[in-house]
Amino acid sequence: NSASLTQTVKQPATLVLSVNPYPHATVLESVTLILTATASTGIPTGDVVFYDNGNVLSGNVSLDGSGVATFSTTHLVPGSHSLTAQYAGDTNNAPGTSNLINEDILQATTTTTVGTTDATPTVGESITLSGTVVSTDGPQPTGVVNFTDNGSPLGSASRSEERRVGK
């Protein structure tokens, strides 16, 4: 009596991840992850899943006829992101994980302008301060504007309010 075992040998695929733009993008900017899979014979086929800090970023993305899978997102929050891709393998190619790429997502740049109802008020006169905060490369800012006079707090207002200061 003898037993036999059939073993299929799969070649390793070379998996190279690239990111555009690199090494950083601004919050809400589109970031594209590109995995290129190559092998010593043939072009790898099958699916890839992209990861951000070990968490699934995409669903299954199929390699195209050139062995390339692409995924774009605008949902990366400000901070550092460790991006990888995992290849599921196919009939001839073994599964594998790409190189790791660190991508920094930057907060949007803002410009703040302060205005007043009277640039030269008299003593005891009330004035209204307004603050306009705009983003030059990201989403519209939200939150609170704090008004100070030489470091002393005068008051604060939400992005859509004005603040009356004085009597």
86 or 140: whose pLDDT is higher?
86
Tell me how far apart the alpha carbons of residues 50 and 100 are, in angstroms, rounded to a whole number.
11
Number of other CB atoms surrounding residue 25 within 10 Å: 20
For 39-68, write each residue's pLDDT tens digit.
Answer: 999 999 999 999 999 999 999 999 999 999
Whether the Cβ atoms of residue 60 and residue 45 lie closer than 8 Å to each other: no
Ramachandran region, residue 64 (left: φ > 0; alpha: ψ -120 to 50; beta: rest)? beta
Tokens at residue 85, please? 């891709």
For 7-37, write each residue's pLDDT tens digit.
Answer: 888 999 999 999 999 999 999 999 999 999 9
User: At a CB cut-off of 8 Å and minimum separation 6, what does 157 contact?
Assistant: 129, 130, 131, 144, 145, 147, 163
For residue 147, pLDDT over 90 is answered with no
- Selection from 20, 13, 24 nearest residue 70 by Cα: 20
| Cα separations in angstroms, 70 against 16, 32, 103, 113, 161 | 12, 7, 16, 41, 44
User: Where residue 167 falls among pLDDT bands split at 50, 70, 90?
Assistant: very low
For residue 69, pLDDT over 60 is answered with yes
Average pLDDT, the chain: 90
Q: What angle do CA 104, 108, 163 make, to 5 degrees?
A: 145
